[in-house]
Amino acid sequence: MKEYVLDANAVLIYLEDRDGANKMRHLFEQTERQQVRLSMSVVNWGEVFYVLAKKSGEQRTRQVLNPLRKGVDLYAADFGQAELAATLKHKYKIGYADSFAAALALTNKATLVTSDPEGDKLERQMKVLRLPHHTFVADCVISLRKRTGRPSRRLSTPCPTPADWQ
């Protein structure tokens, strides 16, 4: 069975229905039909949790992410993964969390799903499914707070999930 490793940006693109969400939706549907397997490092899962919790709070983030856990195999970051991730970060000058996704993809001989431009550096080492690049991870619904005038970012609607993985 073909395996894909998701980095944090891939999941955020899906949840925030940004450019590239259709590709992600297709992967989740294939997973539901047991045609492909989706995997993710807990480091990248934690990055998604952090970005969403910062905008929407922890309780809402858990409501959004819990259905996805049924469709994504989460892998712990053990010593070997941490060392490989550090090596990839050093060699290819990629983000630290991104290096855990790359290490998992390399270890599992899987395709890395990313929108990060650094993914191009890894294409000699592994297959990479490129999603459209974006300039800011938290491009969700932006509204202005009346009192301070500073922008606040929060998830305004429930995020789509394929049949809530039931």
Q: Which residues of 9-18 are buried (b: 16+ CB within 10 A; e: fewer)?
A: bbbbbbbbeb
Q: What is the pLDDT of residues 39-59, one digit of tens each?
A: 999 999 999 999 999 999 999
Q: Is residue 157 scored above 80 in pLDDT?
A: no
Residue 62 in this model has a pLDDT that exceeds 90: yes
Contact of 2 with 127, CB cutoff 8 Å: no
The structural domains of the chain, with segments of one domain joined by +, span: 2-165
Does residue 100 register a pLDDT over 70?
Answer: yes
According to DSSP, the residues that pair with 5 across neighbouring strands are 39, 112
Residue 12, pLDDT > 90, answer yes
Q: What is the model's pTM?
A: 0.80
Q: Which fold has domain 2-165?
A: Rossmann fold (3.40.50)
Residue 166 pLDDT > 90: no
Is residue 164 scored above 60 in pLDDT?
no
User: What is residue 134's predicted lDDT score, i.e. its pLDDT?
Assistant: 62
**Mean pLDDT, range 147-156, rounded to an integer:** 41
The predicted model gives 19-38 an average pLDDT of 96
- Which residue has better confidence, 151 or 66? 66
The residue-averaged pLDDT of 20-33 equals 96
Residue 19 identity: D
Residue 56 CA, chain-centre distance (Å), reads 17
User: Which long-range contacts (C-beta less than 8 Å, at least 24 apart) are formed by 26-32?
Assistant: 27/113, 28/71, 28/161, 28/162, 29/162, 31/71, 31/72, 32/71, 32/162, 32/163, 32/165
**What confidence tens digit (pLDDT) does each residue in 108-150 have?**
999 999 998 887 889 888 999 999 986 543 333 333 233 344 4
pLDDT at 9 exceeding the cut of 70: yes
